[in-house]
């Protein structure tokens, strides 16, 4: 009976591991489309759009009009935004994590209208049909 219990527990553990392994790519949507959808009206109304990914990621494709400043370069972000602490700014990265870090740093410096649009892929799938996504080499 104890042997059966161990076998059953091992089978359940394997099932859980396999399930997590299979659904994790689906969960890695690279951003939240519902949140990204909220960014488009801001972008269309002239918000400064900042891609906080690496230069290599940016060069591989980005939203038209975005400027590239890696998230950890707080002084460069502040310089790009300027002195208007209420200037609308939309930041994005791959998943929203780095954009969240950039937003948190900018919040600490008193900026009040920074929106984390989460990920590039989420922005791509929620953008208007006329929105140009700039692939590598088209700049």
**Residue 93 a catalytic site member:** yes
Q: What share of the chain is helix, strand, coil (3-state, %, to 5)?
A: 50, 15, 30
Q: Give the burial string for 38-62 (b: 16+ CB within 10 Å, else e).
A: ebbebbeeebbbbbbbeeebbeebb
Query: What span, in angstroms and rounded, lies between the C-alpha atoms of 122 and 60?
Result: 16
Catalytic residue among 47, 81, 89, 93: 93
Catalytic residue annotation: 93
């Amino acid at each position: 009976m104890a042997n059966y219990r161990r076998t059953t527990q091992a089978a359940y553990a394997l099932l859980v591991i396999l399930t997590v392994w299979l659904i994790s790519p689906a969960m890695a949507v690279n951003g939240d489309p519902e949140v990204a959808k909220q960014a488009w009206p801001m972008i269309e109304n002239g918000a400064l759009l900042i891609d906080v990914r690496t230069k290599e990621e940016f060069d591989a494709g980005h939203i038209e009009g975005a400027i590239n400043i890696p998230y950890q370069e707080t002084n460069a972000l502040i310089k790009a935004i300027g002195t208007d602490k209420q200037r609308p700014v939309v930041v994005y990265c791959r998943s929203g994590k780095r954009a969240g870090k950039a937003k948190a740093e900018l919040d600490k410096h008193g900026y009040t209208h920074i929106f984390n649009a989460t990920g590039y892929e989420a922005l791509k799938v929620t953008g208007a049909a006329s929105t140009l996504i700039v692939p590598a080499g088209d700049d």
